[in-house]
Amino acid sequence: MIRLTTRENGFAEAFARIVADRRESDSGVAGDVTEILADVRARGDAALADYTARFDGHTLDTEADWRIAPADCKAAFDALAPDLRAALELAASRIAAYHAAQKPENRDATDAQGVRLGAIWRPVDAAGLYVPGGRAAYPSSLLMNAIPAKVAGVERLVVVTPTPRGQVNALVLAAAHLAGVDEIWRVGGAHAVGALAYGTDRIQPVDVITGPGNAYVAEAKRQLFGVVGIDMVAGPSEILVIADGANDPVWIAADLLSQAEHDPVAQSILITDDADFADAVIAAVESELTMLATQATARASWDNYGVVIVVDDLATDAPALANALAAEHVEIATDDPQAIFDTIRHAGSAFLGRHTPEAIGDYVAGPNHVLPTGRRARFASGLSVLDFMKRTSFLQLDAAALAAIGPAAVALADAEGLPAHGRSVSVRLGQ
């Protein structure tokens, strides 16, 4: 864990190194993924079967080996303990309500020159969702990806998920039933992403692929962007907590570890203006770690990538540091969090006040927890309904409207040396 103070010599250089540290996969992954995708494109289902046997120890022979039936998902949902079913239903309803408000409106208007112009929004035909297995089997992520797609109006929703040695996560199946997933295929990894993009004899291609995964999945999505749409290329999780000394250090330590337990290369950063509070949080992290079943992962993350920064004044100093970090999650635990939030331009999602832990956003608050990492919050946003929709603009002119604006189009076409463009307008103007 790194502890820094803005007053110390060398702070700017040390902080710059933290900002520049991507904590993402090495270039060797890219070559492997390129080979896998080419193999899937060439051999289709046969390649999927080979990779699934090799990586997951699962043989794809019968239809049940390939695909999880909707009846199995319903059975998993029905078998949930009542309190867990209620929690899943609460999460789903709040996610749906939040994302329904994101749906854009169509535009159709006629301007002063008589030109009708506007735009219409339509959903993509099919979306593919990657749902991790193994270390990260999260029903919450399935809801966060599937529900916006359904709200957008996507007709075909396809999930791919690895089932190591044939094992499935019952809660993921229950979430799939609740979200209305249409197909679930028992394949994962870069080869599953390739199948969604290119299609195989069994799996029909989709238009957009979303969902978290390991370095190979992220790299496959990056390479396939353009063949399909993607949500983002996500890296390891990260949290930035801006907290004053009035907080309970145990609360803040728990918040930092909530992301550290995700991945050994996740990053948790605290910015505070109270050196004694910083000491207390560091001590609380050590205590909290001993109680975590995920201690090994969280310990590796905290020891190797944890950062505590002591500043002179939170309101003055923290926003500039936060904007440079452009973190996935930003908690602001102060009496007036809005004042600091108003000056933060780059954050995937913000959590305001002492009683708003980031983890509440992971599950039941409503906003999406699929967020940009690795400083991508400078130019990217979290997953939304818009990731599953596209906009088509339209125009309609009558003779009078063309006469009003057509000559300018002809002049510009001629200036660009494109006479056929100009001719297609001028011929209608009788020129």
User: Active-site residues: which are they?
Assistant: 328-329
Distance of CA 279 to the CA centre of its chain: 33
> Position 54: which residue type?
R
The span from the CA of 164 to the CA of 66, in Å, is 13
Rg (CA), the chain: 25
Single out the residue of 58, 279, 287 nearest to residue 185, CA to CA. Answer: 58
CA atoms within 13 A on the CB side of 362: 14
Cα separation values, 38 from 210, 224, 286, Å: 20, 11, 46
Q: Across the chain, how many H-helices and E-strands are there? A: 18, 14
The answer to whether 150 and 180 have CB atoms below 8 angstroms apart is yes
The span from the CA of 392 to the CA of 365, in Å, is 32
Give every CB contact of residue 299 below 8 A, 6+ residues apart in sequence: 289
